Structure 1
Amino acid sequence: MNIAPKVSFVLPCYNSAAYLQATLDSISQQSFKDFECIAVDDGSSDSTLALLQQHAQQDPRFVIITRENRGLIATLNEAISLAKGEWIARMDADDICHPQRIEKQLQRLQATGSDVCGSWIRFFGDKSGEWMTPSTDGAIKAMLLFNSAFAHPSVMARTALLKTHPYPPHAVHAEDYALWCTLAEVGARFTAVPEVLLDYRCHAGQITQSKKDQLRATAQIIRSKYARFALPAAMQKNAARFVELAEPARPLSRAEFDWMCDFYLELASTWPASRDILGEVWVDSLQRSSGSNLLLLPKIHSLSKALPVPASEQPKLKRQLLRCLIGDNVWQLIKKIKTNVL
């Protein structure tokens, strides 16, 4: 009789041959050994399937599924439906997980009694730096008001939870954001390991402009629904205005920036758990606002005291302080010159 593994990796693959072997090796080299990996070849036309089959011959914990192309959401849900482990570990076919990823996430899940666990990630390839995602339940749920609080391939979650609440088919290109919001609404508890456990590869062609536009539109629908659930009752009257201005690519006028800052201060007072992420959020809002000048410096100073900016966002804040000192016109001219030089 086969004993079910503790963890089931879910690995969707579509024309992934260029980077796949490094991903497969990083899974096989986990310090935690009690897992299966369900790898689904989603109708690839390159050598993805051959690489998967060859690796499965060397590591019998890999289960290979191949069929015609059905897209990412259908592939994820199919793999989850086949999973035998207590926990699902997401993985993408071009990323690399650190050897202790599963071990440390299981420890965190046990220590916190949570249902979903992410981790910090490191970008490599066409982008560098780290994404230090929030790590407490309250901060993660507050961050979902603005955007996804997890790097998708870093996540582990209870299998039973994902089988009951699969990826929604309507949320194309924002399927992870939709799922986390749904899980929050049904009472799931979130956490993350505050440590880099996954290297996230960035390369050309990952998200085309057309996909970005679709993602933005879908994310706004998700954000609007979640805001009606998550915002404190006293702030619901301003939910529609908040959702409009919270869209990450939406430029803000000076008046809109002021409105958002007042909203953040009220949110921090009404929902204290949100304070941990609002220092990052208001700097993002400042970055997409116009009308920066010396007169804005007192407001930035008071915001910095009320909603401290995390160390990871200090370089961004310093750039915005410089923008205030030299003014928007000179700032945009410098950016234009730098773009032309590059």
Structure 2
Amino acid sequence: MTVSFVLPCFNAAQYLQQTLDSLIAQSHTDWECIAIDDGSSDQTLAILQAAAQQDARFKIISRPNRGLIASLNEGIAAAQGEWIARIDADDICLPDRLVKQLDYCAQHQVDICGSWIGFIGERSGEWHTPVSDAEVRLALLFNTPIAHPSILARASLLKANPYPDDAPHAEDYALWCHIAATTSARFANVPDVLLHYRTHAGQVTQAKKAALLITAQRVREQYARSALPVALQPLAAEFAKLAEPSRILTHAEWAWMVDFFTQLIALRPESRGALGEMWLDTLQRSRGVNVFDFPRAIKLALQMPPPKAERKKMLKQSLRLAMSDYVWRKVKP
């Protein structure tokens, strides 16, 4: 079964060879790589051409700069495989990535499949994304629950649903919400680290952050109006505003979200795995919380347990509640 890696590249020479080597090391060998050189001014094209000379599975498209969304859609259009695998030019696939994702998709009848990831570079740790289709669809109400460079998706699905060109810097979030809202495609994440995701300074500029926030807010509200249980749909606009991951919440807004989470888990009990990380993140960005909020947090933790990877954060937030937010901010390092 042929898999087509889509690899957009722009001035990516620093880490690109490591990425290419990780593709060559895949235990599933029936793959091609559509690498798009998006008008690079460094040695990116030379590295890609050298790889193509040594391995015919690398296919290079080089042209003036058109941006990430255009590169993604161009690579998908050129792909010959039954499946599309994403990879960025500074990340590293583990050798069994394709084997495990293909097996998981076959076993669970999945159409879009990500995986857990491990961070390298300036950040350490792991991101344990929601696993099941129901959990992924619910987590999309908050933000993207799929690590973009980890996805494996049916080529026919992505060819029929290209990345939207009106969603700069949030193109993956917009696409997953669109597919979730308009198709019966099944989502999943393999509960295993299959990709090392590199973090480094300058990945997202302040200008890009501003554009991402505006786009994500629009996408979130639009998705919430159809994806929330009917009883909660009148709250979609307020929810979408307070669910923004970069927004700092007041104590009253935190209380509003606690009530929202309580209603949501009652209506969608199958999604408790996805909501554990979401309510904990909401608590972390809330201000003015105190010991009287501790029972609320305990109730949420029992109803929606945070993933094991978030245990340290849970302990830290519990201590913060016990001390009160005011004292915590005075004494924390």
Query: TM-score, normalised to structure 2's length?
Result: 0.97
Letter in 1 for 2:178: T
Residues 1-31 of structure 1, C-alpha deviations (whole Å, 9 max, x = no match): xxxx611000000000000000000001100
Secondary structure in structure 1 of the residue aligned to 2:167: coil
Identity %: 56
Q: Partners of 1:40 and 1:334 in 2: how far apart?
A: 50
Structure 2, gaps ≥5 residues long = none
1:266 lines up with 2:229 in the alignment: no
Distance 1:275 1:72 in 2: 34
Is the 1:267–1:274 contact (alpha carbons within 8 Å) kept by the matching residues of 2? no
2:114 pairs with one of 115, 118, 135: 118
CA deviation string 1:224-256 (max 9, x = no partner): 111012001111111111111111111112221
CA contact (8 A) 2:247 2:285 kept: yes
* Counterpart in the other structure of 1:37: 33
Q: Which moved more, 1:264-273 or 1:24-33?
A: 264-273
Give the alignment of 1:130-209 within 5 angstroms: 130-185=126-181, 186-209=183-206
Is it true that 1:50 corresponds to 2:17 in the alignment?
Answer: no
- The correspondence for 1:242, drawn from 239, 252, 259, is 239
* Counterpart mapping for 1:16-95 below 5 A: 16-95=12-91
Q: Secondary structure at the match of 1:104?
A: helix
Task: Report the Cα distance in structure 1 between the residues aligned to 2:276 and 2:163, rounded to whole angstroms.
Answer: 30
1:301 aligns with 2:289: no
1:223 paired residue number? 220
Inter-partner Cα distance in structure 1 for 2:252 and 2:200: 37
Q: For 1:30-61, what per-residue CA distance to the aligned partner results, in whole angstroms no more than 9, with x for missing partners?
A: 00011110001000000000000001111110
Q: Which residue of 2 aligns with 1:214?
A: 211
Name the amino acid aligned to 2:116. W
Between the aligned partners of 2:128 and 2:98, the Cα distance in structure 1 is 18
Q: Does 1:255 align with 2:252?
A: yes
CA distance in 2 between counterparts of 1:38 and 1:304 reads 44
Cα deviation, 1:74-121, whole Å, max 9, x if unaligned, reads 000001000010000000000000001001100001011111000000
CA distance in 2, matches of 1:298, 1:264: 15
- Aligned-residue offset at 1:130: 0.2
* 2:274 counterpart letter in structure 1: I
Supply the AA of the counterpart residue of 2:16: L
Q: Does 1:291 align with 2:284?
A: no
Separation of aligned partners in 2, 1:329 and 1:134 = 33
Name the SS of the counterpart of 1:106 in structure 2.
Answer: helix
C-alpha distance in 2 between matches for 1:136 and 1:160:
22
Contact 1:142 1:273 in 2 (8 A): no
| Counterpart amino acid of residue 119 in structure 1 | S
Instruction: Give TM-score, length-normalised by structure 1.
Output: 0.95
Look up the SS of the partner of 1:19 in the other structure: helix
Residues in 2 aligned to 1:313 and 1:30: alpha-carbon distance in whole angstroms = 30
3-state secondary structure, aligned to 2:115: strand
Q: Quick check: 2:128–2:307 contact (8 Å CA) kept in 1?
A: no
The question of whether the paired residues in 1 share the 8 Å contact of 2:5 and 2:34 is answered with: yes
Alpha-carbon distance between aligned partners in 2 of 1:259 and 1:54, rounded to the nearest angstrom? 56
Contact 1:292/1:324 (CA < 8 Å) preserved in 2? yes
Query: Size of the alignment, in residue pairs?
Result: 332
Alpha-carbon separation, structure 1, partners of 2:228 and 2:326: 36
SS at match of 2:13: coil
Aligned residue type for 1:279:
G
Contact 1:252 1:289 in 2 (8 A): yes
Cα distance in 2, alignment partners of residues 274 and 60 from structure 1: 44
Query: Could you list the runs of 4 or more consecutive aligned residues of structure 1 that deviate by over 6 angstroms after TM superposition?
Result: none
User: How far off its partner does 1:308 sit?
Assistant: 2.0
